[in-house]
Amino acid sequence: MKSNCDANLSRRTPCVPKLVGPMLTLMLFASGAAAQAQQADSRPAEPKPDADTYQTIYLTNLAQQSDANDIQTALRNMLPKARVYYVASQGALTLHGAPEDIQLAQKIVSDLDHVKKIYRLTYTVTELDNGKRTGAQHFALIVASGSRTTFKQGSKVPIVTGSYEEGSSAANTQVQYQDVGMSIESSVDGYADGLRLRSKVEQSSVAEEKSGVGPQDPVVRQSVLEGISTLVQGKPLVLGSLDIQGTTHRQEIEVVAELIR
């Protein structure tokens, strides 16, 4: 019996090292995993992306509605991910987007919403007879750079456009009114060393003769001068002249620009 036990023990002894190898592997793996977990815990947390924010920007130098529309369009094109709305009653832009978009929007508005120069445009319509000056009219307009100003002086002339009946013998007459007199539209903006002027000067009057269409339909005479010119401040510029048909009279239209502020 002793020899058998010894034999069995001698046979079992080599089996012990076979268990040691896997145990050491498991211990090393566990210690490595623990070290990695500890190292991962010691790393700083990655920053989370900033949340969207909201901002209201007031426009302080608007001269007309189109100025706000232009700024709003520029912001929407430059910042497609941000939401931009214009509140006309407050003259303000409301924005919702990422902080970097809001910051860029403030820079864009600062560049576009700047103080505009104000000019006084004085139009002079001179009446000439055989080259001699017989009279002149002066019309002064205040225009902000980049905006348009309209001036009208005259009367409204009724013109019958039709008639209709509504179940009775009396005819109802349709009438439209046409402006007659002087009308001027002007806009200016900076151009090189001077000013670029867009102007339309329209002068109309009622002729003495009647229209052949109806006994009460008037004949309206009209002269229109429209174009783009370059002005130098303080220096008059003749925009054009017109010979009055059937007479020796002639009209000359001149304009001069002065900076107010």
Helices (H), the chain: 2-12, 16-42, 65-78, 99-112
Q: Can you tell me the distance from the alpha carbon of 84 to that of 61, in angstroms, rounded to the nearest whole number?
A: 19
Contact 197, 145 (CB under 8 A): no
How crowded is residue 9: how many other Cβ atoms within 10 Å of its Cβ? Answer: 9
DSSP three-state, residue 99? helix
The answer to which of 160-164, 227-231, 249-253 has the lowest mean pLDDT is 160-164
Between these two residues, 71 and 114, which has the higher pLDDT value? 71
Q: What is residue 215's predicted lDDT score, i.e. its pLDDT?
A: 59
Higher pLDDT, 21 or 115: 115
Arithmetic mean of pLDDT, 61-80: 90
Q: Which domains does the chain have, with CATH numbers?
A: 53-112 (3.30.1370.120), 118-160+173-259 (no CATH)
* Tens-digit pLDDT profile for residues 205-217: 887 776 666 556 7
Indicate if the pLDDT at residue 28 is higher than 60.
Answer: no
pTM to 2 decimals? 0.64
